[in-house]
Structure 1
Amino acid sequence: MQTVPRRSLSAIALAIPLLLLSPPGAEATDSHLPGPDPSDPFALPADLGERFDAVLSEFDSDDAPGVVAAVVQGGRIAFQGAWGMANLSHRIPLTPETRINIGSTAKQFTAFAVALLAEEGRLSLDDDVRIHLPEVPDLGTPVTLRHLLTHTSGYREFINALAIGGWRIEDSDFVGREEALRVVQRQPELQNAPGAEWNYNNTGYLLLGMVVERVTGEPFPAWMEANVFAPLGMDDTVIREDPRQVVPGAAYGYRPLPEGGFRHGQDVGAAVGAGSVYTTLADMARWMENLSTGRHGGRTVLEAMTTPTVLTSGRTTTYGLGIEMDREGGLRRIHHPGGDIAHYSHFAWFPELEAGIIVVSNHGGFSSTIPAHLTRAAFGEAMAPESADAPAETMASGEPDGAGPSGPDAASAGTAGAATGGAEGSGAGPPPSPDRLVGRYALEAQPGFILTVREEGERLVAHGPGQPPFPLDPAGGSRFAIPALGAELTFHLEDGEAPAPRLVLHQGGDHVAHRLDDAPLALQDFVASYRSAEVENTLHVEVDEGALVVRQRRRDPVRLHHVDGDTFGGAFPLLQVTFHRDGEGRVTHLEASNVRARGIRFRRLDP
């Protein structure tokens, strides 16, 4: 085994992640786990250490947090290294043995626990959650444990809902389990029919942790230690039940500051079941080996975890129970990313190579593109060309970063199994006049996301809310490439010289967007204060310099842009605001949404 000594890091100026991380959903491929094939092991590069150093060269000082990484082959660590600092106050470096928070990568442990209890006959994955948690409200349609495990329940995601309520979780607002449970208890109706839609949801895994406690009669951390971690020899894995709990040998998490430097980032509260696991590279390697062998739990449990979810529409997603199955570089991949306020993790196993990679960082601005470069450094010789990989950044990510436009969660808008539109327009001939293409286009599946196409100098550029402009390269006729994102746009053009009424964004599917009418609005119709009993918050809508602005206690103002009718787009946590009128045309209430928490109603307060 190769071990690289500590390296360090220069600050990465990216947005701060708020949510426990979700994987990007996509169409499913065959997921059945093969057994190990040690007869033909993949040969790792002899210069693997140098390759990792090259990718992680920014992590090269003694005054910034960093990253630990390992390559696992045949169930053993073949290479590991540490770069950067575990504790800036006391100048303690990271080592491969440092415990670090892995965020949502821990969901597979909770899923394994529930599947194990099902295999033992102590519960059924198709149990109504209210059998075990009667305090959860009856919202008209049973929500099962399987719905919770597969992110198809229809419950609001508690972190996003609380953000609409004015909570600043990214600034270490403490959220206990009781407060998170109240989000479910105050929800008036399900956001979608159970099983009909995949929408990444930490609430489900919070509830699953509680189910394990009710079924076993033991605290979740204690039961997990005795029944999941100890049988695998994962002796350095700890569930941090409270963000204030001391974890010996753990790295602090840090958030980069805009002006330079760092500050402590407190773990997300109420994340037990959804995250809150501190572990080491060696323990995660032991877990990766179990995914291959099924030594603990057996093949039946692992098959259940790695069977793709089928929605009620018949569409199959790439998500199983707490883990995702897809392809990277042409290779089958079993994986899950993770992140919270000040940590990032990446766990990926490639069954065809009987090898995998583990990356964990205590830097809140760690770029989610780095693991792909490390994976290429380790396994590139066995992978297809990079063009076969899914793009690391997604223009149409509707819930950026969990809270911001460019961090680890940027490509995780919860689109698994979503229906897509067909490509339109011509791929041949010269490009049409820019006048027919420039404008604002709202995604059909997410109207609050506005794609702006404009001229910049002598070329066209496109960007989403809060994004930099991406140059468009003509690709024939009305089709344009976006090289920076590995995406394309196709404009639908009708007869004559009329502007394009819609376009299709080709990125992880075909996403139809319709041109917006920018006719003047009577903005004063919307000016008022609005109160939500569900999230116990008041929004004040004002007009400022010709646009609507939403102000509320404790969060920054959100400037709205018109989408269509009485619907406006904004910024997290108010990605979409839709006003509603009575029969006389008077605005009576609004609904606030941010993809994972949708349709939260605010009633207009009379002057």
Structure 2
Amino acid sequence: MANLEYAVPISSNTIFNVASLAKQFTAFSIALLADKKLLSLNDDVHQYIPELPDYGEKITLLHLITHTSGLKDQWDLLNLAGWKPEDVITNKNVLDLILKQQELNFAPGEKFQYCNSGYTLLALVVERVTGKPFATWTQENLFGPLHMNHSFFSNNFAQIIPNGAHSYKATETGLEESVFTASAVGADGLHATLADLCKWVANYDQKIIGSDVVFDEVNGIPALEKSGNSNLNAAGRLKLSYGFGQGVKDYRGALRIGHDSADAGYRTYIGRFPQQHFAVILLGNSEAFEPEKTAMQIADIYLARQLSPPATEDAVAGKKLLIPETMEQTISGQYQLGDKRILRIFVVDRNIMGEIKSERRRFDLIPLTNLEYENKPKGIGVKYLKGNNEGTATIEFSESGKSITATKLVHLDLSYLDEYTGNFYCGALDAKYAIKVQDDHMVAILPRNNAVIITQNEADSFFGSHWWMRDIKFKRNKTNKITGFEINNGRAKKITFLKIGTK
């Protein structure tokens, strides 16, 4: 349903926020401008955005397109700076934060790392080259010529969109609206219908807009040169499976070009099989929907005679299962074993781990069911038995054929964490964190009182409970005093905080 409150059904003319599907439109725009000699893909982005910091290395437009720029991702930065999902986020907000970053995650062209920031900058490049707002230029040069009459970039989340699909999420009490208030364009911000996206996909065959040169570029993987890099192929080029806003991969022996996307409850996917002149487009408005998985099930049916046999069950049997998200907080904690040892169970990126500190032993635990986990090579098993409203839980810990009942410790002595507490400041985020111990946890209190639980991993190393705050490493001076910490996430690294009042 496009709108549950008024029971409005979804049709081919329902307008969706299509999330990161916007990237292929942004990349196509750059390719068109390059074809018209208004810019070059190998131009330094500083040529168009001179206010960007000097990182000591050239970042080309092609680096931005292929997620190889080394820039920190805007969503990691925004979350770390204290922005909330319900905040209105504009291109200016994003640019202001990007401009504060004085370091890159890695040297441009060194490796692939998905980066929304690059596409926000590409939209700005289009504006500065053409002298027109990005939404206007794409309307005149993409949507208009293709008669995509219900497609547009919007930098106003409050814009009234007739026949627009609402976004939903599941909660314990039922479905709720999941409102996406970001108002930035380039990396996302595109609204479109299924009927319009069919016209977009058809253009790859019909070539109504774009020359042969443009289509050769957007259907392929650009060649990036980078010497001294272990991620190179035989030709000395960076190995990539991503091109102009789309992944370029093999699927059962066929070339597949596509992208899946998610914003709030919107879930979308476009997958093209150019050699078969076939495409699947799926648009959804519930976060439980898995569009890429469903799209490939459709492709398997329609292209059954043109695809190689699917992987056998043996080929996928070794894939590691992840702990269900509902169990992460339930089972995490410290447990008093019957033999007086303390077992700590914690979760990193949905992978469950166990540790017995007194024996300096750490081990992975593989989910067998929602309640049972094991490390077969080490002969270790954990079975969740029960819990109560006070947060206590009981597990059965087995090792070498012997089982011990263990109860979660509720009131812990956390005085050993006191040296990590205090106030810390990061200039690159213009944000102050307060590190405190409260409610049997160490927490980071972010601007506007966002609280993130941080759990000790090993000496001076912690991990956060949110995807955008994972690896936290505290720093010490020559007298062994804590002077600050550094956050390293997958998409934003070397985020340095200094302790206020220390030297």
Give the alignment's TM-score, normalised by structure 2.
0.77
Q: Give the Cα separation in 2 of the matches to 1:327 and 1:472.
A: 34
| Larger relative contact order (CA 8 Å, sep ≥ 6) | 1
Contact map agreement 1:157 1:202 (CA 8 A) in 2 = yes
Q: Give the Cα separation in 2 of the matches to 1:273 and 1:203.
A: 9
Contact map agreement 2:487 2:496 (CA 8 A) in 1 = yes
Contact map agreement 1:253 1:342 (CA 8 A) in 2 = yes
Q: Give the Cα separation in 1 of the matches to 2:308 and 2:415.
A: 51
Q: Give the Cα separation in 1 of the matches to 2:499 and 2:183.
A: 32
Q: Give the Cα separation in 2 of the matches to 1:451 and 1:257.
A: 23
Q: Please tell me whether residue 605 in structure 1 is matched to residue 487 in structure 2.
A: no
Which letter does structure 1 place at the counterpart of 2:486?
Answer: E
Contact map agreement 1:111 1:321 (CA 8 A) in 2 = yes
Contact map agreement 1:308 1:316 (CA 8 A) in 2 = no
- CA gap of 1:453–1:330, structure 2 versus 1, over 3 A, is farther
Cα displacement (A) at 1:378: 3.8
Partner residue, 2:108? 194
Partner residue, 1:110? 26
Unaligned segments of structure 2, at least 5 residues: 233-237, 327-342, 356-363, 380-399, 401-413
**Deviations 1:550-607 (Å, cap 9, x if unpaired)?**
2334465333333344221222231111111111111111112332122211111238
Cα displacement (A) at 1:440: 8.4
Q: Please tell me whether residue 336 in structure 1 is matched to residue 259 in structure 2.
A: yes
Q: Give the Cα separation in 2 of the matches to 1:194 and 1:582.
A: 32
Which letter does structure 2 place at the counterpart of 1:175?
Answer: I
**Deviations 1:249-291 (Å, cap 9, x if unpaired)?**
3222233333212124134221x11111111222212221222
Partner residue, 2:405? none
SS at match of 1:339: strand
Q: Please tell me whether residue 372 in structure 1 is matched to residue 372 in structure 2.
A: no
Contact map agreement 1:449 1:569 (CA 8 A) in 2 = no
1:354 to 263, 272, 277: 277
Cα displacement (A) at 1:367: 3.0
- CA gap of 1:383–1:285, structure 2 versus 1, over 3 A, is same
- CA gap of 1:453–1:165, structure 2 versus 1, over 3 A, is closer
Q: Give the Cα separation in 2 of the matches to 1:259 and 1:212.
A: 45
Query: How is 1:371-520 mapped onto 2 (pairs within 5 angstroms)?
Result: 371-380=295-304, 382-387=306-311, 449=349, 451-452=351-352, 461-462=365-366
Contact map agreement 2:346 2:354 (CA 8 A) in 1 = no
Partner residue, 1:562? 456
Q: Give the Cα separation in 1 of the matches to 2:283 and 2:213.
A: 29
**Deviations 1:334-386 (Å, cap 9, x if unpaired)?**
10111211211010011232211100012233235433334334434544444
Max Rg structure:
2
Partner residue, 1:163? 79
Contact map agreement 2:168 2:285 (CA 8 A) in 1 = yes
- CA gap of 1:468–1:598, structure 2 versus 1, over 3 A, is farther
Q: Give the Cα separation in 2 of the matches to 1:105 and 1:394.
A: 28
Q: Give the Cα separation in 2 of the matches to 1:478 and 1:316.
A: 37
Unaligned segments of structure 1, at least 5 residues: 1-84, 407-437, 443-447, 480-498, 500-519
Contact map agreement 1:213 1:220 (CA 8 A) in 2 = yes
Q: Give the Cα separation in 1 of the matches to 2:105 and 2:72.
A: 7
Q: Give the Cα separation in 1 of the matches to 2:239 and 2:93.
A: 34
SS at match of 1:261: strand
Q: Give the Cα separation in 2 of the matches to 1:540 and 1:89.
A: 41
Q: Give the Cα separation in 2 of the matches to 1:319 and 1:570.
A: 30
Contact map agreement 2:12 2:193 (CA 8 A) in 1 = yes
2:10 to 91, 94, 108: 94
Partner residue, 1:48? none
- CA gap of 1:557–1:241, structure 2 versus 1, over 3 A, is closer
Percent of residue pairs identical? 28
Give the alignment's TM-score, normalised by structure 1.
0.64
Partner residue, 1:173? 87
Partner residue, 1:268? 182
Q: Please tell me whether residue 549 in structure 1 is matched to residue 473 in structure 2.
A: no
SS at match of 1:560: strand
Contact map agreement 1:591 1:599 (CA 8 A) in 2 = yes
Cα displacement (A) at 1:90: 2.6
Q: Please tell me whether residue 136 in structure 1 is matched to residue 52 in structure 2.
A: yes
* Aligned length, in residue pairs: 431
